[in-house]
């Protein structure tokens, strides 16, 4: 009897030691998974995958422990239909992990911002301020329309507002402006509905030159020659009438005068 009890006790102690070792190696695995599960069940699984690609899920979870945190999270529909797949592929590339971290940390603010506080600029974990404004039509975060404010509240007290695209920090815009045009071939917005959204992709190649028209150009008719100038004659002294011509004129004048006189008489 005593031998059996000591064997059982030894087994229990061994299992307890293994469990303690696993918890010590990853003490916050369960809470972090709980946060991911909450976001997944609320329709933000695409954003969770981006956090995992950037190795930020644990960091965001640790920040959520404070409670005074606001997340601006794009919905799965926004990531699927409003953002170019080429942009997401570029951001998730391993060589661009630093850029992806910048973009994602711009979605987290160390303040509890409700719909009644929707105004002004609020510093993000990326370091740049997220400007909040609203008009008669919608709420905006960094010029990106908000689909639903106060979409969910996480267990730690952090508030999540769903948005219609990715927020691009000013520090990353200079790296992203030469990536792609405003819309891709499917006509989708690159970064959602943000008016000043920029894109992340390699610089596009120069457009091909316009096609060359190979049709023969009709030749122009030869010019019409101008008429030749009138002939020129050398100038000289005026010609005098000859004596014979002068006497003839005088005879005609005399005969004509006589005949006129005879008619009058």
Tens digits of residue pLDDT in 155-183: 677 899 999 988 989 988 766 555 554 44
Tokens describing residue 217: 């150009």
DSSP code, position 184? -
Tokens of 24: 């010590």
What is the per-residue pLDDT for 227? Answer: 76
Read off the pLDDT of each residue in 84-96 and give the average, rounded to a whole number: 84
pLDDT range class, residue 28, cuts 50, 70, 90: very low
pTM above 0.95, yes or no: no
Residue 199: which pLDDT band, with cuts at 50, 70 and 90? Answer: very low
Return the closest-CA partner of residue 175 out of 85, 102, 84. Answer: 102
Query: d(Cα 92, Cα 45) in Å, to the nearest integer?
Result: 15
Structure tokens at 230: 């009138």
Copy the structure tokens of residue 16.
């307890």
Cβ(67)–Cβ(158) below 8 Å: yes
């Amino acid at each position: 009897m005593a031998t059996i009890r000591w064997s059982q006790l030894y087994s229990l102690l061994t299992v307890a030691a293994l469990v303690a070792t696993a918890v010590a190696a990853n003490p916050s695995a369960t809470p972090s998974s709980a946060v991911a599960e909450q976001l997944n069940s609320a329709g933000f699984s695409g954003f969770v995958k981006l956090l995992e690609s950037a190795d930020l899920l644990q960091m965001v979870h640790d920040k959520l422990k404070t409670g005074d945190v606001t997340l601006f999270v794009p919905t799965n529909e926004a990531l699927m239909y409003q953002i170019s797949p080429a942009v997401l592929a570029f951001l998730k590339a391993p060589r661009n992990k630093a850029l992806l971290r910048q973009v994602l940390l711009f979605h987290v603010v160390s303040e509890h911002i409700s719909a009644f506080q929707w105004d002004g600029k609020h510093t993000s974990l990326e370091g740049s301020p997220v400007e909040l404004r609203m008009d008669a039509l919608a709420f905006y975060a960094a010029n990106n329309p908000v689909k639903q404010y106060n979409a969910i509240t996480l267990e730690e007290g952090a508030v999540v507002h769903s948005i219609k695209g990715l927020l691009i920090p000013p520090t990353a815009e200079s790296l992203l402006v030469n990536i792609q045009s405003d819309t891709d071939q499917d006509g989708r917005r690159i970064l959602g509905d943000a008016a000043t959204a920029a894109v992340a992709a390699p610089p596009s190649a120069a457009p091909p030159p316009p096609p060359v028209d190979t049709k023969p150009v009709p030749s122009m008719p030869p010019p019409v020659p101008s008429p030749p100038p009138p002939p020129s004659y050398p100038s000289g002294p005026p010609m005098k009438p000859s004596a014979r011509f002068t006497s003839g004129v005088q005879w005609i004048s005399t005969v004509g005068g006589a005949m006129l006189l005879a008619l009058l008489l």
